[in-house]
Amino acid sequence: MEVGSLPVELWRVILAYLPLPDLGRCCQVCHAWRELILSLDKTRWRQLCLGCPACRHPNWPSQPHLDPPSWREALKHHALATRTWAQTGMELQSSACLVFFRRQKDRRVWHVGPGCEFETLRGVLGVVGPYDRVVLHPGVYEEQAEVKLKVPLELVGLGRLGDVALLVCIEQQCPTARLCNLVFMPPWFSTVVYKTSLGHVQLDNCNFEGAQLQIRGPGTCQARFCSFSQGSSAHLLGVVISFLDSCDFSGSDTASVTVEGPPVSERNWACKYLAALTRTFPSCGVSGDNSNPLVCTTGGHQPPVKNIKKEHMSIEDWQRKTGVDAVCQGTVIEGGWSDGERSEGEEENRDGEGTKNTKKPLTLDYKLPCDQHGLSHLLKPRPDGSLPPASSPDPPSVIPEPLTFQQELNRDPEAQMLAASTLGCILRRCLFRDGKGGVHLSNYGQARLEGNVFRGLNYAVRCIQNSTIVMLRNEVCECRASGVFLRLSAQGLIAENNIHSNGEAGLDIRKGADPIIVCNKIHSGLRSGVVVLGNGKGSVRSNQIYNNKEAGVYILFSGNPVVSGNHIFQGQAAGIAINENGRGTITENVIRENQWGGVDIRRGGDPILRNNYICYGYSDGMVVGERGRGLIEGNYIYCNKGCGVWVMSSSLPQLLGNYITHNYMYGLAVFSAGGGERRGVEGEGQENLNEEGELFAWESDLDSEDERHSARRSISVALVESNCISYNGAVGLYVKSSEPLNVFANLVNSNHGTGIAVLQSSQLTRLVTNCILQNGRGGVTVEKDCRVELRGNGIYENCGHGVSFSGNGQIVENDVVGNRGYGVQVSGSADIKVLRNRVQPAQGCGIAVLGPVKGVIHDNLLFQGHPGNKKTLLHMDPDNESCVLRNNSILRHNNSCTSAPPWVLENPPPRPLASSPSGFSSSQHPSRLGISMTTRISATVESGCHSGSMFCSIL
């Protein structure tokens, strides 16, 4: 009969009455009939699938509310599962039909139960033949001793699940067996209800209540749609491969699934079949909320990370969004010094119109060109016309996106190998809930977890003792302790999981564990997102870590991970915290919108931070706290509400080649002034680092101190070198410290306050070969009782004095040109040497000595700026008898001589001086600059007072 002879709707009504065999035959009539039968997927095929007593909903137990992609395919998998258990070997293709007849020829069906030929399970097992089917009628079957299966058979419960209960302990001693529609409960003498160490067992639609399933290699197991409740568990010891699919584990007293020991070398017939099955089954996603978080590049909501639209947000837009004033005027951190106040000399030299904080310097009649100084290339437009970060009035508008999982696999052969591995226990689409533990691996065990849900457990996954775990697309949530716990040299791949809302860390890595953690969402935890401690390692890459109550990544106790390419954002504490001798290599992350410091390093923390974006934080961008160390290189630190970088007492960081721009307070603050201990740290010391509450003692780091620092420059003085500190809301570099500091080859420009302010420096602060220009107040300010050396700097076109110096030290071979106030003002009871400087003020004095200054001022070269300037270029108070002026040259321009050559800075050219670097090429990071410097001086660091940022403490 032609399909077109009746309406399709009527055909569907007719075909809905056909049984399964007839539907299969109709599919083979022709293409039109096949399409018609396939169109019944959500009606007749669904009815047949759910009507099978051995079948459960294809998405049970985690997503029974969702329809599968195809009900017909789900029923097909059920049908194939009822046959494949009996395939005991690889048969030749030509003999496939003979195998079928061999299995069917002598196969018998035995009925067991009241009124049947056998009333006990032991009785029927004495007479069954190979591949016979034993049907158990409703009832409870109990055996007082262990029962052995010596021939392959199929054991099926009749009726609904729960009608047939077995109180038995079965040991399988045959190649294969299938058990279906049964409830297992432990007998009085053992909790183990089924065990095998030889063959393959297939469990379909069975319940285990307070019982244990035990599989020992080379035995194998395939469990489908089984329920393990009331403390039931599965123990797999040395298995080559076993497959647990769509099972429900609840109420466990220990771990629901335990995988122990390495896979044995011997294999049974089912290993190849199960390996092929794991590769052909469709992978399913994680249940629950799989949508990507709303991720933004510069504040506000954006599409998912992989589709981020690169939008530009100006500094004013961010200020309006966060409610911060455009300029931090009058900002005070400690003491009575305010960046919002002007000195007397600056007030005197304000122009006639009364402008206060304009960046535009006065026009010089005899301008001294200084554009070609050693750091000028950082300010020049790029070939495409865009401005570099150091001279752009707007913050960066583009940040890197995290890589996709496929991109990570393409660049990491080890991750690629792990993603394809199928050894050990394979769990897919299972639900673990309301128990003590989910999956426990130990002693070189191997497991692959894919598409499972772990909810409401003490812990989801524990992997220890050199075991290997592969976790793909699982959901791990609401665990009372850590979600995934790895220790004792565990390893593996953890990718594309949704790990959230756990009571402790989402991932806890310690004691030599070294996993690959890529492309996960780790969020909404009640503590930290990822914790690495006790010599833990690991590679944490391309993850989204957000909205955790403590640090997004917390590294301590000699933890040494690689943290790269992650987006760490909207945390309620620090983005990354490195504490208690933690280490780590932290590169190319985007760390933004965190409540505390974007990165917090203290108490022996010693990481490498390179090329990260640390931005839009609600506190400081980076905090280097007490005894913090680390190499901090090439980072973009911008638009943070506090300071860009905050350095506390007794810390020895190396800040090299960073862009510290557009922060609302100071760009870089070095602060260890008196005033008591810093305030308590939010959440500090409360991270539960114990296991099950026992006393935790982490092993000491075996690496020597020399080995740890062999790859970087050893220093004994905090080092600030080759950074760009620009467009910050207050002072560019603020120093109030009782410890030595070296500041070399930095570009400090266009900050709203003074370029560099040294308010306290009992130890020597060295400012060498820096370029300090166009700042909203003075270039360099040094308060009384400070010890400071200024050597080889270029101080240009600032809106206040070029150098205002009231401390002790020396000002040697600097170029101080075009500043609105005095060129160099020395005042108070300073003891100073001012030697071989070149000075041209925009107005006012070139060098002014005010008050009882001690020292010498000689061999300086002063250039006239305005012919109408009433101030003398070299001024000293008449009653000063302790300061020596010698061999200073004053150049004035002759108005009548129009042919006089213009003044230039030559021999040497404008400072800071550029050398001819060997081995360096032009780079985007200022750390690649070649600058000729004087010999660096090292000094011991003495412990001193310390205090905390007004915004940031830690975590």
Fold of 191-279+419-527: Pectate Lyase C-like (2.160.20)
Spatial separation of the C-alpha atoms in residues 182 and 488, rounded to whole Å:
39
Helix (H, G, I), strand (E, B) or coil at 320: helix
Three-class SS of residue 808? strand
- Beta pairing class for 847-850 and 808-812: unpaired
Q: What pLDDT shows up at residue 47?
A: 72
d(CA 527, CA 501): 9
Contacts for 156 with CB less than 8 Å, ≥ 6 apart: 54, 133, 134, 135, 136, 178, 179, 180, 181, 182
Cα dihedral 416, 417, 423, 425 sign: negative
Q: How far is CA 762 from CA 654, 758, 945, 946, in A?
A: 21, 11, 12, 14
Name residue 796's beta-bridge partners. Answer: 773, 817
> In angstroms, rounded to a whole number, what is the distance separating the alpha carbons of residues 125 and 168?
13
DSSP string, 732-780: SEEEEESS-EEEES-EEES-SS-SEEEEEESSEEEEES-EEES-SS-SE
Q: Quick check: bond before 218 cis, omega within 30?
A: yes
Query: Is the Cβ–Cβ distance between 105 and 131 less than 8 Å?
Result: no
Alpha-carbon distance of 180 to 157, in angstroms, equals 6
Instruction: Name 772's bridge partners.
Output: 748, 795
Name the DSSP class of 43.
I
Quote the tokens at residue 751: 């900050």
Give average pLDDT by consecutive 10-residue segment, the chain, 955 residues: 66 72 75 75 71 68 73 68 62 40 64 92 92 94 93 92 94 93 94 94 94 95 93 95 94 94 91 82 45 39 38 52 46 49 49 43 73 91 89 90 96 95 92 95 96 96 97 96 96 97 97 97 97 96 97 96 97 96 97 95 96 96 94 97 93 95 96 48 44 39 42 78 97 94 96 96 94 96 94 95 94 94 91 94 89 92 80 86 90 66 86 59 47 37 36 34
Rounded CA separation 327/330 (Å): 9
Q: Which of 836, 835, 800, 834 is nearest to 818 (CA)?
A: 800
Stretch (H or E) spanning 138:
none
Segment holding 250, helix H or strand E: strand 248-250
Residue 199 burial (10 A CB sphere; 0-12, 13-18, 19+)? buried
> Which token pair is 770?
């820096």
One-letter amino acid at 817 equals V
Beta-carbon contacts of 96 under 8 Å, excluding residues fewer than 6 positions away, are none
Q: Phi then psi for 44, rounded to 5 degrees? A: -65, -40
∠ CA 748-752-753, rounded to 5°: 80
Q: Which of 884, 903, 881 is nearest to 892 (CA)?
A: 903
Percentages helix, strand, coil for the chain, rounded to the nearest 5?
15, 30, 55
Q: For the chain, how far is it from start to end, CA to CA, in angstroms?
A: 75
Q: For residue 735, list its beta bridge partners.
A: 670, 758
- Boundaries of every domain in the chain: 12-83, 191-279+419-527, 756-893+904-914
- In this structure, the number of other CB atoms found within 10 A of the CB of residue 477 comes to 24
Record the tokens describing residue 883, joined without a space: 């300061």
**Cβ pair 813, 834 in contact under 8 A:** no
Question: In whole angstroms, how far apart are CA 173 and each of 194, 200, 268, 706?
Answer: 11, 10, 13, 59
φ, ψ dihedrals at 409, nearest 5°: -65, -40
- According to DSSP H, which parts of 60-110 are helical? 71-84, 96-105
* Alpha-carbon distances of 712 from 167, 632, 701, 715, 768, rounded to whole Å: 67, 11, 19, 9, 21
**303 in helix, strand or coil?**
coil
Q: What's the gap between Cα 867 and its chain centre?
A: 60
In Å, the largest CA–CA distance within the chain is 133
